[in-house]
Amino acid sequence: MSDSVMNTYARLPVAFERGEGAWLLDQQGTRYLDALGGIAVCALGHAHPAVTEAIRDQAGKLVHTSNLYEIPLQRELADLVTGLAGMDRAFFCNSGAEANEAAIKLARLHGHRRGVELPHVVVAEGAFHGRTLATLTATGNRKVQAGFEPLVNGFVRVPFNDLDALSTVAANTPSAVAVLLEPIQGEGGIRVAEDAYLRGVRELCDRHGWLLMFDEIQCGMGRSGRFLACQHSGVQPDVVTLAKALANGFPIGVCMARGGAAELFQPGNHGSTFGGNPLACRAALATVRTLLEEQLIERAEALGARLLQGLSAALENSDAVVAVRGRGLMLGVEFDRPCRELVTRALAKGLLINVTAETVIRLLPPLTLTDEQADRIVDLIAELAAEFSAACA
């Protein structure tokens, strides 16, 4: 392989040529069951005809005009996603990190509006919010930050799922103006925020006039069994970000806000050349409508329960497995030791998985998975866990 691409990824030695639903086919025609879905991106599976047709048709009509002009498809998409998320307004961009940048900028505007000179956003340990300078600072993983100092000012970190720690910040940090959290931490090892914790965070935010901002870039878009993962807890944020699955692989992100937070940006405050262009919005409209028409959010909940139950039963007696957890189709299998080698072992068995936080197999399969495919994932993970335990014994 040529090395003219920058060396930012540790890539596996396989290249895919085609996809069909939950299957990916490599250049030799070998089939792999995709339990990672392009890292929570291909929620409708690969090459879903509704998205393919929308992209094909729109590409033949109009790809881009710029945000100097009205973009009816952008308004249509904003109506659809704000309606599903219970928000008032949407700002479109091209990635998750950009959506979070918009959220952080909203928090700072909110702070300044309240007379806070150097506003701070409270973020969690184990969080992942992206790779731009502000979002890598918000990220709770030193590895992501190392080498990129000076980091950005204006963040305070607390342990995840710990309301007392947040109350302490509230009591001692008058510059705090917002909280940014993933309702289910993805990169952090599939850690689900407790519903009671999220409700407590909402109360604290209300009491102190903070914005509650959820990063649903990985856990949103129906994957958890609700359109937004926070909807399990009944908690409504002031700001929420989505990206990844929004157009099933076509790049687009969105930062949505409600109430006063939705009125903070004014012309000239923020923008994006590509953000919300006709092609991206058309792909996203097709994706979200398909998600609803095919009842894939309900399906994610049912499939998630099947996988969780199957994995828990199959791994019950495994020496090396310490926990099986998750919500909907966002699942983790935690081992008692680093298990990165399982990714290549799975690949050899025709299964695509990922290991995050060193010890956790992460499963983010398409929401279109069949029951048989779900059961096949359970069987293969059980095989992998048994081989891994035996090799480590």
> What three-state secondary structure class fits 185?
strand
Binding site for ligand PLP (CB under 6 A): 95-97, 100, 128-130, 182, 186-187, 215, 217-218, 243
Q: What is the DSSP letter of 352?
A: E
Alpha carbons 130 and 99: distance in angstroms, whole number:
10
CA-closest candidate to residue 259, choices 28, 89, 34: 89
Alpha carbons 55 and 313: distance in angstroms, whole number:
42
Residue among 243 and 377 whose Cβ is closer to ligand PLP: 243
CA-closest candidate to residue 61, choices 49, 78, 69, 73: 73
Is residue 381 within 8 A of residue 310, CB to CB? The reply is no
Alpha carbons 213 and 236: distance in angstroms, whole number:
9
Q: Give the distance from CA 175 to its chain's centroid.
A: 28
Residue among 283 and 385 whose Cβ is closer to ligand PLP: 283
CB of 187 to ligand PLP, least distance (A): 6
CB neighbour burial string for 182-202, b if at least 16 within 10 angstroms, e if fewer:
bbbbbbbbbbbbeeebbebbb
Set 155, 160, 214, 244: catalytic member? 244
Residue among 283 and 382 whose Cβ is closer to ligand PLP: 283
* Residue at shortest CB range from ligand PLP: 96
Set 128, 250, 265, 335: catalytic member? 128
Is residue 34 within 8 A of residue 380, CB to CB? The reply is no
CB of 220 to ligand PLP, least distance (A): 9
- What residue type is 140 in one-letter code? G
Residue written as token pair 């035996």: 390
CB of 98 to ligand PLP, least distance (A): 7
Active site residue 215: yes
Alpha carbons 165 and 159: distance in angstroms, whole number:
7
Residue among 111 and 130 whose Cβ is closer to ligand PLP: 130
Residue among 51 and 385 whose Cβ is closer to ligand PLP: 51
CB of 208 to ligand PLP, least distance (A): 24
Residue among 205 and 229 whose Cβ is closer to ligand PLP: 229
CA-closest candidate to residue 113, choices 272, 265, 271, 270: 265
Active site residue 388: no
CA dihedral sign, ordered 30, 36, 38, 44: positive
Phi, psi of 212 (to 5 degrees): -95, 115
Active site residue 143: no
Is residue 51 within 8 A of residue 287, CB to CB? The reply is yes
> What three-state secondary structure class fits 325?
strand
Q: What are the structure tokens assigned to 203, written together?
A: 């109360």
Residue among 97 and 247 whose Cβ is closer to ligand PLP: 97
CB of 185 to ligand PLP, least distance (A): 7
Set 34, 92, 155, 215: catalytic member? 215
As annotated, the active-site residues are: 128, 215, 244
